[in-house]
Amino acid sequence: MRKLFLFIATSLDGYIAKPNNDLGFLKMVEKEGEDYGYEAFIANMDTIILGRKTYDYVLQHIGASHYDNGQHEVYVITRTEKPSVGKTNFYTGKLAELVHQLKSENGKNIYCDGGSEVIHELLQHDLIDEYIISIIPVLLGSGTKLFQDDRPEQELTLVKAKSFETGLVQLHYQRKR
Amino acid sequence: MRKLFLFIATSLDGYIAKPNNDLGFLKMVEKEGEDYGYEAFIANMDTIILGRKTYDYVLQHIGASHYDNGQHEVYVITRTEKPSVGKTNFYTGKLAELVHQLKSENGKNIYCDGGSEVIHELLQHDLIDEYIISIIPVLLGSGTKLFQDDRPEQELTLVKAKSFETGLVQLHYQRKR
């Protein structure tokens, strides 16, 4: 069965962004020729799920081509109905139903690209199969938390821990069955 | 100069205890003959700082001998004056002043054994020099956060990342000067 992956960067104190969606801290670990496994990871995905706020952020800061490049089926989780653009779909239904549907179909794996609200809902329904979390060597002190409070407990199996010259540590876990 | 170390275990989602101070999740990584470097670590410390709630918890669950073994000068940070017991002192003054005083004296390093409130105050005054954080492979979902919100930003240098058979990953960082 297809698996749902989280692939995300966080500060050591658990923030995925500083206040006002400031992602500047990611620059600390930028290094020519080092993508921390992203290209190899994304090659195993054919579907991307993300929240509407994250989508708008990427549209504004990177451009629509980041998602709408014909390589992935994209589902933006939103409350506002909107016609699809290329392979980008705006989904207003129940997130858990979408994920169950996608997992029942054939294909490569599914990548959740955030944000915090979508991750929280996926965790509440125990829908994330694997976690690839890159820890940036900084305490941000405040911002958007990767893990919001009030979720069920979930044991994990460590698949791999890898550290990089920049001080980034990438942790890979699987959900324990 | 003497350094202040944090040496603590947390779940992947950043909790040092489940609600009601439940530390049961630490059992997941208990393994005969494996102390995750604690003995070597504590041999380099001669002073321990900890919060009153953490002290009471240890008194109740482990016993006074855990701290009051003559090997370390212990400072329990509390609001209630109390006479010293052996080398255990009850400190009602300002935490930052105590730490500045201790750092100015000669000796081995200083170990902060938690809890969350003492860690928060130390971080607000930028007093922690090194962090040894053991990540337990579990999402607890709720409980006491290792890092409370609203602290200054602090860049770190990764010293070492080490993973163990049990799935525990130990991250060692230094404060960037």
Say what the pLDDT of residue A138 is: 98
Q: What is the DSSP string of B103-115?
A: HHS-SSEEEE---
Alpha helices (H) in A92-134, listed in sequence order: 95-104, 116-124
Query: What is the identity of the amino acid at B71?
Result: Q
A62 vs B127, which has greater pLDDT?
B127
Number of other CB atoms surrounding residue A3 within 10 Å: 16
Question: A43-52, pLDDT tens digit by residue?
Answer: 999 999 999 9
What's the rounded Cα separation, in Å, for the pair B126 and A162?
28
Whether A77 has its CB under 8 Å from any CB of chain B: the answer is: no
Per-residue pLDDT for A64 more than 90?
no
Of B12, B151, B160, Cβ closest to residue A173:
B12
Q: Greater confidence, A66 or B154?
A: B154
Res. A122 pLDDT band, cuts 50 70 90: very high
Any chain B CB within 8 A of the CB of A173? Answer: yes
The ipTM of this complex is: 0.96
Question: What is the model's pLDDT at position A65?
Answer: 83
| B73 CB-side CA count, 13 A | 12
What is the rounded CA–CA span in Å between residue B66 and residue B69? 7
Shortest distance, CA B124 to any CA of chain A (angstroms): 9
Q: Which of B97, B160, B153, B162 is nearest to B126 (CA)?
A: B153
Q: Tell me which H or E stretch contains B41.
A: helix B38-42
Q: What is the pLDDT of residue B6?
A: 98
Residue position matching structure tokens 């000068």:
B73
Residue ranges and CATH numbers for the domains of chain B are 4-175 (3.40.430.10)
Cα dihedral value A72, A75, A76, A78, nearest 10: 170
List per-block mean pLDDT (blocks of 10 residues) for chain B, which spans 177 residues: 97 97 95 97 96 93 84 96 94 98 97 96 97 98 97 98 98 94
Q: Give the three-state DSSP class for B118.
A: helix
User: Are the Cβ atoms of B139 and A153 closer than 8 angstroms?
Assistant: yes
Q: What pLDDT sits at residue B69?
A: 80
Chain A residues in contact with B157 (beta carbon < 8 A): 137, 167
Inform me whether the C-beta atom of residue B19 falls under 8 Å from chain A C-beta atoms: no
Asked if B155 reaches chain A (Cβ–Cβ under 8 Å), the answer is: yes
Partners of residue A168 in chain B, C-beta under 8 Å: 158
Separation between Cα atoms, residue A113 and residue A73, nearest integer Å: 13
CB-nearest to B156 from A138, A154, A155 is A138
Residue A143 in tokens: 């911002």
